[in-house]
Amino acid sequence: MSLIYADLTFYKEKYLLGDDSVIPDTAFKYYANKASIKIRNMIRLDMLDITDDSEVTEEMRMATCEIAEILCTYDQKTVSDASSDEDNAIPVGVSSETVGDYKVSYAANSEADRDKRKNQTISDSIKKWLGPAGLLFRGVI
């Protein structure tokens, strides 16, 4: 198993600084692992062989926490969208709907569009935390 860059204690004490947690405690390791994999795909090649927790930078830990929250939030939205059986739920692909004089506005909220926004948000987060620290692979803009 590969190294997970942040743990639950870091998430709660350093990243959240006592704020409310977005990620349930029982799910943190899962999302932190997924976040660490995303980071590993974009960091400098000489950083790939990190096997010791002491080699992980503060920026890598913060990025892991932020990306873990992004992943969890998108998963929660997907689950709530899928389980929504309300009569007034707006279908995927429709951003708004009016019944009087029937108006429908279409938006890019298909599953592919949501994935694209999620990946862009993750990429932006990685760049924000790791770019100034010089930890990004040079091919990442």
Tens-digit pLDDT profile for residues 90-133: 455 555 666 677 766 666 666 777 888 899 999 999 999 998 88
Beta-bridge partners for 94? 106
**Distance between CA atoms of 84 and 133, rounded to whole angstroms?**
42
Does residue 114 belong to any structural domain of this protein? yes
* 105 DSSP β-pair partners: 96
Mean pLDDT of the chain: 81
Selection from 5, 61, 8 nearest residue 37 by Cα: 5
Residue 54 in any domain: the answer is yes
Confidence of residue 140 (pLDDT cuts 50, 70, 90): low
Span of 7-11, 22-26, 83-87 with lowest mean pLDDT: 83-87
C-alpha 140/C-alpha 118 separation (Å) is: 17
Q: Is 139 contained in some domain?
A: no
pLDDT value, residue 24: 96
What is the Cα–Cα distance from 127 to 34, expressed in whole angstroms? 17
Structural domain harbouring 106: 8-130
Number of domains in the chain: 1
Confidence class for position 30, pLDDT limits 50, 70, 90:
very high
Confidence label for 60 from pLDDT (cuts 50, 70 and 90)? very high
- Residue 45 carries which side chain, given as an amino acid letter? L
* Mean pLDDT within 74-79: 75
Long-range pairs of 132-137 with CB within 8 A, sequence gap ≥ 24: 132/59, 133/57, 133/59, 134/44, 135/43, 135/44, 135/47, 135/57, 135/59, 135/60, 136/42, 136/43, 136/44, 137/42, 137/43, 137/44, 137/45
